Structure 1
Amino acid sequence: MQNGDHVRNDNGHSFSHPGLILPTQSVQNQIHELAKTLPPPRKQNTACDACRSRKVKCNRLPGEDKRQHCLSKNYPCTHFVQQATSEKKRSAAARRPRNISTSSSTSPVSAGSSPIAEHNTPPWFKAAFGPWNSGRLQSYGGLNMQSTTPTLLHHLFAAPESESTFMFKSRSPGYATWGDMASKLEDEAFRAEFALDLVEVYFQIVHTRLPLLNPLQFRARLNLQATQQRPVIAKQDEPLHPALIATVLAWGAKFSEHPLLVADRERNGGQSLLAKALINRTRELAESLKVHRIPNPNHVVISLLIEPLQCQDPRHDNGFHGFWLTSGIRNLLGLQINHKSVMADIKDPEARGTMIFAWWMACLSDAFSSFYYRRKPMLDDDDYDIDFYTADQNTQEATDPTAPSPREQLEFLGYYRAAHALARISRTIARQLWRPSTDQDGIPLDSVLSYISDLSKWRDAHLSKVGVPPNLEANWDFVSAVSACASDAQYHVTWVALFFAMDEVGIRDDAFTPSNINQVETAKRKVMEEALQASLRIAALAGVLTSNGYLKLDPAVMHVSCINAGNLLARLGRPEVFQCIKALEQYSYAYEETKEHAREIGREYEVALQKGPNNFQEMASAINPSSRAFHAEAMSVDALTNGNGKHHGNTVSLIF
């Protein structure tokens, strides 16, 4: 079987769901092209200070020092003067974040000199976008960066008894843990076919939400039948990073309905032990190959893909702790992707587009997760100067039929601009909640009023454009449905999370005047009303996605919304909570921990039925009789006008 034979047709994978229309390979390629068409930032002025002050063009040759052009005309060059006078300062203290220390430096840094090399470039940056496997070899249980794909598969699909060492040996006895068909993994041809199935499932399901990879390049470079190292002629001929292959396979195993995985789930109570083993082995392999330590574009992508792959419950030892997300951000900062001047200098459009998308994915994830999980955001608003730029609406349609149209690019940019605006609000709230003074004294009243105002402005400006529209198109496809529902829920869960934060720490009012006390109660009631309407909205969206079987295919996007909305509705004794419970039960197909969340929410609801709304602290005074109505009719998706609290008189059924 040649490598080219591995590109199956659009239905060449094991995943099957009646009525579910998944993206074809051509659509998968278009999704990636659209993701990387975030326009690059404008390049900064690189003229020397003397030319800039005289407002003349600095005709500096490529690679020429800034001062040479001025000296040739007998002008004193301020760049040279500044460089000489600031050398001591630059060597004593490194600038943040452009000189992050790393063990991967490809050239030594002499003692007493600045770690920033010529033209403000770190010593390892020039090689960062070169071949990832050009450095020294690193080994992990027999694997290194030069290992062929068949060798990698032999290690990844080793029997459970060799979980940590992956040593070559007879492995049949241990395979029984993974079901009756697992012993077939001893056969190299079967391993290759199984791996190909997992890759196709990844691109059908995960890639539509996290388009960090180029499907065509990945399939071409997978090289399942390679038996020895081959020479690298061009970028498309480079072998894939072993940890990247492992990550894609682990994702595919989460959602695949291959007979081997079906038998595994039947044997182990609905959960795949093989899928769990692949996640653990992927993490171990990535750690061994220093993915979390060496700034490299491949390492950025791997880190960002591993984070949502894991258990998403922070209470579990293997749950969300933000390690891989933080590693991805550190790698991005190490590559200086947060500088628009650096981004503009990346010549390869594929690499530049992927890094721009990776940056915004990491930036948004950092902000939202910091708010949800009550940790300090890693990024500040002033940590980056790259921004979204509007695509030219008059651009002619591309000749390539698979390329995204200008209209699609504008929609894509609009979505990410809205998400970034919401992320900045979440980042601000997260920083306030992180402060010890907030935990001790409460959230300042002025801050609460600011959050209410910011969220209301965001809703008016963006929700109608990126949320679920009032009049839905019939037979929406999978990608359109889950994307609109996710962005809609992303906004609404912010109100719910703000409610729980206020309930936990309260509101701080230093004035203690009657008017301020009234303001505090008014703010509480406002947040309570918005949180209740938001929870009902999320429950309705979750009900629609559950009825279509979409949540079993969700790569850790909707679960936070379902959990938070379910918790609030359960404490209020609202019957709509069952939509969230059913959603989380379906979610447990890929994320086992959500089943326990569903049980906890169910128990909370039973207590509320017996004792009334309970388990509220600082926000107890805001709970009004309408919130407690147990007999309230369950809401449909459009029972709210995009979550603004105004009820419609009619309902629209959603059929995707």
Structure 2
Amino acid sequence: MSPGYHPAPNGSAYPPQPIPAYPPPQPPATGAVPYRYSVPYNTHPYVYSYPQPPPGSYESSPPAPAPPPAHDSASSSSASGKRKRDDDLDADASEAEPTSATTSQPSQRAQENKKRTKTQRACDSCRSRKIRCDVLPDTEPPLCQHCKQYGFECTFFLPIAETRFKKKKLEEEQAAADRTRHETEQRGSSTPQADARVFGPTSEAHLLHSSATIPSKLYESYDARHHHSWELGRAGDGLINVLEPARDGAASPAAPRPPADMRIERDVVERLLNAYFSDIAPVLPIVTQAEFLATPSPPPILLYSMCLVAAARRNVPQSTFDSIRYIVNAIIKSEDVLSTASIVNVQALLILCMVGDCHSQFVPNALSAMWVRLGTAIRMAQDLGLHRAEAIKQNIELRRRLWCMCVISDRWMSLSYGHPYMIDINDCDARFPSSGSSDDMYTVELVRLSILLGRVLKTIYSPSGLNLATDEALVALLNDIESWRANLPPSLQFHGPSTPRQSGLLFLLYSCLCMIFWRVFMRLSYTCPAHLKFQLTVEKWSVLVKLTGDAIDWLDHHDSLYDVWMFVAYAATSCALVQYHTWARRQDQVAAQKLKTLRDCIRRWEKSLSPDHMSARRKTAEIIALLYEATQGPPPSIERPALTPTTGVQLKEPPPEGAIAFQSDASRPGGGVFVARDDAAREMYKDIPTGVFDSEGTAGSAGHAAPAPEAAAPPPASLVSIMPLTPRSANVNPALNMGTSGTDAGSAQTVEVVNPLGELERLTSADSSWLESIPGGMFDWGQWDEFFSKLGSTGAGPAGGTNGTHPFMQPAGAPVISSAGVPAQVVQTSPGAGARGS
């Protein structure tokens, strides 16, 4: 088990950081506007100077140039006064032939041989400066006069083969090898230049390629720009492959250079922190303002992660964002953030995963790094025991809230990538936050919606997918999705474009979830497995069109959220796909107008940025733009999609142009039916129920066709079932919220774990005589049974104990008392109508 996380002496959740001695900057100019949060001087050296990451870091700066060589007349000139070059030194060893005068003296010859051995090779420093290298005699290791005088390290590492005798030959061999490699690549070598990445069936690219109403010519240029390709399986399913070409022949893109201006002023940090707590923290309350202000010296990785996400907004200069991104990646490398499990590192990584461009300026690298770093954060959270109920009795509310953020990020990022999520809620028993904060109710509802999203992904989009799904399971899942919205607290209900930020965001994500659920049941384009009769009716699709249209109108009034959380962009894309399909199938001009509204909203964001800024976010903006542009002409002809929506779904051949048409029904709002105009279309769609398709092709029957049943019969009771998320549930794991009595979910009760010390204290104060009946030995089973039976029959338990229930395991709703020293939020009280967020 990992060591416990101990708070700082001042009550902070973060350990104190050493404050380095660093001169403060100049104070701000007179008349500057003060900010709500003030960064103290000398908070961390990164505020005023920045680290130089070690070689090979994620984004490392080029090495500093070597200092210019100092002039040394004594060692760089020969006796004749002329400067010798490196090749002259090499020639000394081979051209020094003894004269007759020197050969007559054996001792003098031995001395010259010894000296020639010492100076047969120049050191690296002298060779690079092309000066004479005089190696001092009797030095071990060898040391030349020049290096000794200037304090250089005298090394002999440079290969001796790189001299003027062989340098030209080596260059010719290298050029020939380069030509051969280039010719091999031109012939189509199978050796990949970089590792390919894939996107699954719920990714934005896959949604684009599996929509029958979107012609392939519409996204050909989009695929070319982002290097998308795919291979179809036998059933027509597949994944989107992304292979970024190597730059300049390298296997991976070169590390970006550091920005020219690496200095972040103190007032800029203040503005970014204030913007984080006002615009970003309410969306995902990973760090609260009270926790941050309680820390006198915040950890640098947390401080700059918050600043980086705040700098991703459209009104912040790109240079500021680039500088802070470089700093953050340098800190991650230098402080080994990805290998050190701590609460601070989990918070910082979750914050960074809110914006894809925080990780790299190259799109494939940024998206891949974000996926890997989120997985690291989740593993760290599990290593710290955040997924278990009160595994560590410190910072309980912080740990609860942080685990909820892990579940939310895991589910929605898995949706946007099309990959399997990591957290299985059946493996955890962490409870929802219950501090009484205004953000708790929003957090709890967002977690519940995220858990429902996970059920959709597992039921429909897993590799087994619909092949193992049943009509009963799909009906139960749909009922849970609809009941989630129906049971929302009044403060979180949606009521138009003026809805507050948190309530509107829940509605936007709910609309996205409904689109993901329904898209595979569009039977005009796809065929589900034969054992499934579950279907999408015209009325259900019309409700979805209304939901997504309202979500687009709300986002148009709150477009600043597009800057701070990447999942807002994904949800907006899903809404755009619903509107485009409605326009293409029904020629609905209202849907085309909704697409224009969303395109204008995204264009306002794009106009405030430079063309090379926020490249990962621009992928989403491109999809929305091309969908809108397609509505400016006649409706395209329906063609066979490139990919299937998910495993188990087969593609249908498109009908001839004009073979079917949609006819609305004024008597039923949003109702209508598709009408066949020839025998071929009737035969092609004979398996579709009358509520969706009129096989007779008459206008009279089309307008009054009876809708198909929207839901199958309720599934029979089973021995093992998961209770739907209800207002009374208080645990992240729905299996631990299963009822012990009652006939419906609303009356279900949950077993609560209370504080035994507090219960004993209450029993003692009520009646001290019951202590006399405690058995004397641990293994006196009969006496223990008699003891507990007395407690159950005397009504001394928390809820009276009249049914013989153990006094320390009582149903929810019973009033309990916690002992001193244990936070009150550890024990859940009565989950009444107002306790939905507890």
Counterpart in the other structure of 1:300: 346
Cα-to-partner distance string for 1:348-372 (whole Å, 9 max, x where unaligned):
xxx3322221111111222233234
> Does residue 426 in structure 1 map to residue 445 in structure 2?
no
Cα-to-partner distance string for 1:449-508 (whole Å, 9 max, x where unaligned):
3332222222222275523236x8xxx7xxx72212101111111111223355699564
Paired amino acid for 1:319: L
The Cα of 1:280 is off from its aligned counterpart by: 4.6
Counterpart in the other structure of 1:598: 621
Q: Which has the higher helix share?
A: 1
1:116-135 equivalent positions in 2, closer than 5 A: 122=1, 124-126=2-4
1:205 touches 1:553 (CA, 8 Å); kept in 2? no
Structure whose alpha-carbon radius of gyration is higher = 2
Counterpart in the other structure of 2:190: none
| Structure 1 CA distance for aligned equivalents of residues 52 and 282 of structure 2 | 26
TM-score for the superposition, normalised by structure 1: 0.54
The Cα of 1:277 is off from its aligned counterpart by: 4.5
Paired amino acid for 1:308: M
Assess, with a 3 A threshold, how the Cα gap between structure 1 residues 602 and 200 changes in structure 2: closer, same or farther.
closer
Q: Secondary structure of 1:292's match? A: helix
| Structure 2 CA distance for aligned equivalents of residues 297 and 500 of structure 1 | 39
> Does residue 607 in structure 1 map to residue 630 in structure 2?
yes
The alignment of Structure 1 onto Structure 2 pairs a total of residues equal to 417
| Structure 1 CA distance for aligned equivalents of residues 390 and 293 of structure 2 | 32
Counterpart in the other structure of 1:193: 267
Assess, with a 3 A threshold, how the Cα gap between structure 1 residues 132 and 456 changes in structure 2: closer, same or farther.
closer
Counterpart in the other structure of 1:523: 536
> Does residue 540 in structure 1 map to residue 418 in structure 2?
no
1:147-186 equivalent positions in 2, closer than 5 A: 149-151=44-46, 153-155=48-50, 164-166=59-61
The Cα of 1:194 is off from its aligned counterpart by: 3.0
The Cα of 1:614 is off from its aligned counterpart by: 4.4
Cα-to-partner distance string for 1:497-529 (whole Å, 9 max, x where unaligned):
223355699564444xxxx6xx34x33646533
| Structure 2 CA distance for aligned equivalents of residues 157 and 600 of structure 1 | 39
Counterpart in the other structure of 1:319: 367
Q: Secondary structure of 1:304's match? A: helix
Q: Which deviates more from structure 2 when the two are superposed, residues 312-321 or residues 360-369?
A: 312-321
| Structure 2 CA distance for aligned equivalents of residues 194 and 449 of structure 1 | 52
| Structure 1 CA distance for aligned equivalents of residues 325 and 343 of structure 2 | 21
Assess, with a 3 A threshold, how the Cα gap between structure 1 residues 134 and 255 changes in structure 2: closer, same or farther.
closer
1:58-97 equivalent positions in 2, closer than 5 A: none
The Cα of 1:154 is off from its aligned counterpart by: 2.0
Q: Secondary structure of 1:610's match? A: coil
1:496 touches 1:564 (CA, 8 Å); kept in 2? yes
The Cα of 1:164 is off from its aligned counterpart by: 3.1
Assess, with a 3 A threshold, how the Cα gap between structure 1 residues 507 and 418 changes in structure 2: closer, same or farther.
farther
Question: Which one of 566, 586, 610 corresponds to residue 576 of structure 2?
Answer: 566
2:367 touches 2:616 (CA, 8 Å); kept in 1? no
The Cα of 1:309 is off from its aligned counterpart by: 2.8
Counterpart in the other structure of 2:426: 382
1:156 touches 1:278 (CA, 8 Å); kept in 2? no
Counterpart in the other structure of 1:489: 508
| Structure 1 CA distance for aligned equivalents of residues 445 and 46 of structure 2 | 44
Paired amino acid for 2:49: H
| Structure 2 CA distance for aligned equivalents of residues 524 and 278 of structure 1 | 50
Q: Any gaps of 5 or more consecutive residues in structure 1? A: 1-121, 137-146, 171-176, 221-235, 262-271, 392-405, 634-644, 646-656
| Structure 2 CA distance for aligned equivalents of residues 628 and 166 of structure 1 | 66
| Structure 2 CA distance for aligned equivalents of residues 135 and 199 of structure 1 | 19
| Structure 2 CA distance for aligned equivalents of residues 333 and 315 of structure 1 | 29
The Cα of 1:539 is off from its aligned counterpart by: 1.6
Question: Which one of 212, 236, 251 corresponds to residue 309 of structure 2?
Answer: 251
1:367 touches 1:426 (CA, 8 Å); kept in 2? yes
| Structure 2 CA distance for aligned equivalents of residues 206 and 163 of structure 1 | 26
| Structure 1 CA distance for aligned equivalents of residues 636 and 338 of structure 2 | 48
Paired amino acid for 1:325: L
Cα-to-partner distance string for 1:147-200 (whole Å, 9 max, x where unaligned):
972345422799xxx993358979xxxxxx999xx75x65xxx73333333333
The Cα of 1:577 is off from its aligned counterpart by: 0.8
Counterpart in the other structure of 2:599: 581
Question: Which one of 370, 382, 385 corresponds to residue 414 of structure 2?
Answer: 370
Q: Secondary structure of 2:268's match? A: helix
| Structure 1 CA distance for aligned equivalents of residues 62 and 665 of structure 2 | 60
> Does residue 336 in structure 1 map to residue 385 in structure 2?
yes
Counterpart in the other structure of 1:115: none
Paired amino acid for 2:397: G
The Cα of 1:287 is off from its aligned counterpart by: 4.3
Assess, with a 3 A threshold, how the Cα gap between structure 1 residues 135 and 502 changes in structure 2: closer, same or farther.
farther
| Structure 2 CA distance for aligned equivalents of residues 526 and 437 of structure 1 | 29
1:454-493 equivalent positions in 2, closer than 5 A: 454-462=480-488, 465-469=491-495, 481-493=500-512
Paired amino acid for 2:272: L
> Does residue 436 in structure 1 map to residue 463 in structure 2?
yes
The Cα of 1:571 is off from its aligned counterpart by: 3.5
1:261-300 equivalent positions in 2, closer than 5 A: 261=317, 272-300=318-346
The Cα of 1:562 is off from its aligned counterpart by: 0.9
| Structure 2 CA distance for aligned equivalents of residues 545 and 619 of structure 1 | 38
The Cα of 1:327 is off from its aligned counterpart by: 1.9
The Cα of 1:318 is off from its aligned counterpart by: 1.1
Paired amino acid for 2:367: G
Q: Secondary structure of 2:341's match? A: coil
Paired amino acid for 1:200: N
Paired amino acid for 1:252: A
Q: Secondary structure of 1:625's match? A: strand
The Cα of 1:342 is off from its aligned counterpart by: 1.2
2:312 touches 2:564 (CA, 8 Å); kept in 1? no
Assess, with a 3 A threshold, how the Cα gap between structure 1 residues 507 and 374 changes in structure 2: closer, same or farther.
farther
Question: Which one of 439, 442, 445 corresponds to residue 415 of structure 1?
Answer: 442
| Structure 2 CA distance for aligned equivalents of residues 205 and 386 of structure 1 | 28
Assess, with a 3 A threshold, how the Cα gap between structure 1 residues 362 and 587 changes in structure 2: closer, same or farther.
farther
Assess, with a 3 A threshold, how the Cα gap between structure 1 residues 284 and 600 changes in structure 2: closer, same or farther.
same
2:58 touches 2:333 (CA, 8 Å); kept in 1? no
| Structure 2 CA distance for aligned equivalents of residues 628 and 595 of structure 1 | 39
Q: Any gaps of 5 or more consecutive residues in structure 2? A: 19-41, 66-256, 584-590, 642-649, 671-709, 711-838
1:300 touches 1:328 (CA, 8 Å); kept in 2? yes
1:601-640 equivalent positions in 2, closer than 5 A: 601-607=624-630, 609-612=633-636, 614=638, 625=662
| Structure 1 CA distance for aligned equivalents of residues 307 and 504 of structure 2 | 27
RMSD: 4.5
> Does residue 310 in structure 1 map to residue 356 in structure 2?
yes
The Cα of 1:251 is off from its aligned counterpart by: 2.2
Paired amino acid for 2:396: R
Assess, with a 3 A threshold, how the Cα gap between structure 1 residues 544 and 242 changes in structure 2: closer, same or farther.
closer
The Cα of 1:565 is off from its aligned counterpart by: 0.6
Paired amino acid for 2:365: D
Cα-to-partner distance string for 1:225-257 (whole Å, 9 max, x where unaligned):
xxxxxxxxxxx44x3222112212212322374
| Structure 2 CA distance for aligned equivalents of residues 357 and 389 of structure 1 | 6
Q: Secondary structure of 2:328's match? A: helix
Assess, with a 3 A threshold, how the Cα gap between structure 1 residues 433 and 327 changes in structure 2: closer, same or farther.
farther
2:509 touches 2:571 (CA, 8 Å); kept in 1? yes
Assess, with a 3 A threshold, how the Cα gap between structure 1 residues 389 and 152 changes in structure 2: closer, same or farther.
closer
| Structure 2 CA distance for aligned equivalents of residues 219 and 524 of structure 1 | 53
